[in-house]
Structure 1
Amino acid sequence: MIGRQLNLLLCAVQFLTRLPTPPLRGFEPDWITRSARYFPLVGLLVGGICALVLLAAGQVWDGWVPALLALGVGLLLTGGFHEDGLADSADGLGGGQTRERRLEIMKDSRVGTYGVLALVVVLGTKAATLATLAPAQAALALFAAHGIGRVAAVAVMAALPHVSDRADAKYKPAPDGVKPIEVLIAALLGLWPLLLAPPLGAVAAIGLAAVLALAPALLAKRLIGGYVGDVLGAVEQVAELGALLGLAAVLA
């Protein structure tokens, strides 16, 4: 039992990041879906490293520099995995006229106008928000936001149907999908850092993250009938942004 859970955790790390991990033995097709319970834990790992970078940079520089360096390290750790989903979703959902065309655009490796604008607005607002906080507060907000963003993505995996059947899809769910108990585990693993924040800040973070995450999720449901991997990336990114905005509104 412990060995299987460790394999699922390593699978989540391999799927979501570029961090080196031991090779997985006996890989099973449903491991990525079953490992979703650990996505927020991986998010906290990434967020924790970014928070340490922000704290270290804050000893040398003021203003935007620590925030931008921390965000840059996050991009390196994940390979821009979620950001790529945000850009592709913005292009596909914003530019396609039919369901088939939207899915086709999402699979195109080129980034269009909508994708560039989405990245600039989301990443720019993250950096600006972090820059309003003292280094210790910004580090806490960044750490917590990474967990919240992944919780939102797991919730969407459980709530919406997966609609891509392409062989090159980033994510292929198990037939039974993400189970409610796995969403609960993900929430427990991903939301505990909010205990370190003021209660009002925790409420604001969850509330704004939920509102912003609902936007791409509901739009994807209406325009393509459910979610694909790119939509999960978009949900994670905007939920992360919402968490940062909510925490900063109180911490600042």
Structure 2
Amino acid sequence: MKSKDMIDDLARSLAFLSRLPVSPRFFEGHDGRMDRSARAFALAGAVIVAPVALFMALMAGTSAGALLSALSALALQAALTGALHEDGLADTADGLGGNLPRERALEIMKDSRNGTFGVLALVFSVGLRAAALVALLNTLSPMNAALCLIGVGAASRAVMVWHWRALPAARPGGLADKMGRPSETSLHTALLSGLTIAIVTVGPATSAHALASALVATAFAAYGFNQFVRHRLGGHTGDTIGAMQQISEIVALGALAATL
């Protein structure tokens, strides 16, 4: 693996997953496919979440309190990502929330308007993640809580690649289909990167037991969601990929909070 290629993939992943500024030179001659660049998703997640985690730690070190620090961090993260994953979660919830036929569910997921299921999904996503972060801030030092957020940010984006690779595109010719499908090498690199980052951040900040619990809980949740999407849609969409990130982040943070 050439270091220059990995840097290019990281830059493209950052541009795809966030609103962070990336030089146009990384896209010269690039066809827009993300099948190889997906291997850098975990590392990109750590880069995106790092300033969010630092901001949360700094706020928690003042008189702001844990709740305000947690909600402010989630707001900053949504701003940096353009609420990309939250949008995917809401659309997926609207499409799959009701007992609707496959084609109707896909049609609803393309609609930019949010319905009841989508709104509830966003409320629970923000609420559960904020509650978990408050628990971490009340149990750990602000910096250790920040390290947990970085590790979870990396791991949850690695799981996105697994969902993307594990299922075919539900909508041939759709955005997810046009971006390509990650290779086995890209998947393994993303998963190994996500696991490594989680180990070196969450492990020292918490305990081996907490880290293992978070990883196992996330794996079970990801597998369950993957099977549900396979059954309902027969494949992934860009929305389900984003929803996978949100579900993984919620479960991982919740598992850490519950085991400390």
| 1:215 shift after superposition | 3.0
Asked if the contact 2:159–2:248 (Cα under 8 Å) also holds between the matched residues in 1, the reply is yes
Give the letter for the 1:194 counterpart: I
Indicate the residue corresponding to 1:52 in structure 2.
54
Distance 1:151 1:8 in 2: 14
Distance 1:250 1:87 in 2: 28
Runs of 4+ deviating beyond 6 Å? none
Name the stretch that deviates more: 134-143 or 224-233: 134-143
Asked if the contact 2:91–2:114 (Cα under 8 Å) also holds between the matched residues in 1, the reply is yes
1:3-44 Cα distance to aligned partner (Å, 9 max, x none): 4333222111111100000002111243x1111100111111
Indicate the residue corresponding to 1:184 in structure 2.
188
Asked if the contact 1:47–1:145 (Cα under 8 Å) also holds between the matched residues in 2, the reply is no
Q: Structure 2: 5+ residue runs without aligned partners?
A: none
Distance 1:150 1:72 in 2: 18
Q: Is it true that 1:219 corresponds to 2:225 in the alignment? A: no
Q: Is it true that 1:245 corresponds to 2:246 in the alignment? A: no
| 1:108 shift after superposition | 0.3
Of 182, 192, 199, 1:194 maps to 199
Distance 2:177 2:165 in 1: 14
Partner SS, residue 114 of structure 2: coil
Asked if the contact 2:221–2:247 (Cα under 8 Å) also holds between the matched residues in 1, the reply is yes
Partner SS, residue 140 of structure 1: helix
Percent sequence identity is 38
Asked if the contact 1:89–1:230 (Cα under 8 Å) also holds between the matched residues in 2, the reply is yes
Distance 1:18 1:46 in 2: 9
Partner SS, residue 188 of structure 2: helix
- The 5 A counterparts of 1:78-157 are 78-95=81-98, 97-134=100-137, 135-157=142-164
Asked if the contact 2:163–2:241 (Cα under 8 Å) also holds between the matched residues in 1, the reply is yes
1:119-165 Cα distance to aligned partner (Å, 9 max, x none): 11121010011101232332122111111111111111111111223
| 1:2 shift after superposition | 4.0
The 3 A distance-change label for structure 1 pair 5 and 53 is same
Asked if the contact 1:131–1:138 (Cα under 8 Å) also holds between the matched residues in 2, the reply is no
Q: Structure 1: 5+ residue runs without aligned partners?
A: none
Indicate the residue corresponding to 1:39 in structure 2.
41
Indicate the residue corresponding to 1:229 in structure 2.
238
Asked if the contact 2:94–2:109 (Cα under 8 Å) also holds between the matched residues in 1, the reply is yes
| 1:210 shift after superposition | 1.4
Asked if the contact 2:14–2:48 (Cα under 8 Å) also holds between the matched residues in 1, the reply is no
**TM-score, normalised via structure 2 length:** 0.90
Q: Is it true that 1:165 corresponds to 2:167 in the alignment? A: no
Partner SS, residue 31 of structure 2: coil
1:222-247 Cα distance to aligned partner (Å, 9 max, x none): 01101001001111101011111122
Q: Is it true that 1:21 corresponds to 2:11 in the alignment? A: no
**TM-score, normalised via structure 1 length:** 0.92
Asked if the contact 2:214–2:252 (Cα under 8 Å) also holds between the matched residues in 1, the reply is yes
Partner SS, residue 35 of structure 2: helix
1:33-81 Cα distance to aligned partner (Å, 9 max, x none): 1111001111111221111010111122112011011111100000000
How many residue pairs end up in the alignment?
247
| 1:107 shift after superposition | 0.6
The 3 A distance-change label for structure 1 pair 171 and 66 is farther
Asked if the contact 1:216–1:234 (Cα under 8 Å) also holds between the matched residues in 2, the reply is no
Partner SS, residue 12 of structure 1: helix
Give the letter for the 2:242 counterpart: G
